[in-house]
Amino acid sequence: MAKREAYSKLMEEINAGKFVYTGELEPEKIGDMEEVIEGAKKLVGHVVAANVTDIPQSFAYMNSLGPSYMIQEKAGLEAVCQMTCRDRNRLAMFADLLAAGALGIVNILALTGDHPSLGDQPEAKPVFDLDSASLTALIRKITDEGVDLNGHEIHNPPKFHVGVAINPGAVPLDPEILKLERKEAVGAEFAQTQVVFEIEKAKEFMNAIKHVKVPTLVGIFPLKSFKIADWMEKFVPGVKIPEPMMTRLRELNGIEDKGMRKEKIAEYNVEYYGEFLRELRKTTNAAGCHIMAVKWEELIPLIIKASGS
């Protein structure tokens, strides 16, 4: 497949074969965007773009479209606007895509979205009129043909790049890989993985999807405290944090001085993920790394530096 023209820095760098970094910003249950914009400012110069989450885990938070626009405008950081299919039918998704295009948002991450029953409004009606694959197809239609799902012409159509998510921790993995092939067939241009903690796991996974020609960014999640690690291990299904990591975090958790504890945990993450990244770049064909250090943006440049890049 011939490479498509790049309309964003993210895609330009991926196409150029550069190992790219993306960050993640999470607008929460809040009526202003200060924190997200401040977070974005810290990421500028270290990542090429940052994902802006769309009601993650179905918690009633701010949408992704507004902050995606604002981080581009106010912080000068390119957005990867996440769009889930949970809350909007195809009319509303299309309408938001047109608005996103008009606001200068180019990168869209097409997600199916968590079920409402997982969040803090479990009574909500699930929509899922589209899914991650058909949203990808819709974005392709808009970008490649300048039309909506039914082929009606768009006046001055926007250009998008569409990414998808994939879970290296899926058990079994085979149906997940076939699903990625399906998304490749409908025109996904990049993929970001769910969190991976072990480099061996990342290697195995990248090897398993070698035949898929979708540039893939491996997702990592720096662990800010033992408590978070323990919570993830216990309550996030499919997440398995390697034992040495848990042991080390448990040890560091014992440091009495809060400031010192934070510093040591940060140092440990920098060291751990620095090595992870070095190995990832050296041994896999990963297109980059998606660093989910939400509200811990200052760690990202340190990790990247420690990886020797």
The contact set with other proteins (CB under 8 A) reads: 86, 90, 112-115, 117-118, 126, 128-134, 137, 149, 165, 167, 170-172, 174-175, 178-179, 181-182, 185-186, 194, 237-238
* Angle, vertex CA 229, rays to CA 53 and CA 40, nearest 5: 30
**Residue 274 CA: distances (Å) to CA of 199, 220, 278, 284:** 11, 11, 6, 15
What is the nearest approach in angstroms of other proteins to the Cβ of residue 110?
Answer: 11
What is the nearest approach in angstroms of other proteins to the Cβ of residue 129?
Answer: 6
Provide φ and ψ at 83, rounded to 5°. Answer: -130, 120
What is the nearest approach in angstroms of other proteins to the Cβ of residue 232?
Answer: 14
Element (DSSP H or E) covering residue 275: helix 258-283
> Of 137 and 286, which CB lies nearer to other proteins in the complex structure?
137
How far from chain centre, in Å, is Cα 307? Answer: 20
> Of 15 and 167, which CB lies nearer to other proteins in the complex structure?
167
Length of the chain: 309
What is the nearest approach in angstroms of other proteins to the Cβ of residue 113?
Answer: 8
Single out the residue of 239, 241, 263, 240 nearest to residue 252, CA to CA. Answer: 263
What is the nearest approach in angstroms of other proteins to the Cβ of residue 237?
Answer: 5
Cβ atoms of residues 14 and 190 within 8 Å = yes
> Of 123 and 256, which CB lies nearer to other proteins in the complex structure?
123
Cβ atoms of residues 219 and 193 within 8 Å = yes
Regarding beta strands 190-195 and 49-52, do their DSSP bridges make them parallel or antiparallel, or are they unpaired?
A: unpaired
Residue written as token pair 């408590």:
227
Whether a cis peptide bond, with omega within 30° of 0, leads into 27 is no
Cα–Cα distance measured from residue 22 to residue 43, given in angstroms and rounded to the nearest whole number:
9
SS3 41: helix
What is the nearest approach in angstroms of other proteins to the Cβ of residue 207?
Answer: 20
What is the nearest approach in angstroms of other proteins to the Cβ of residue 240?
Answer: 11
> Of 60 and 91, which CB lies nearer to other proteins in the complex structure?
91
> Of 178 and 260, which CB lies nearer to other proteins in the complex structure?
178
> Of 55 and 106, which CB lies nearer to other proteins in the complex structure?
55
> Of 147 and 170, which CB lies nearer to other proteins in the complex structure?
170
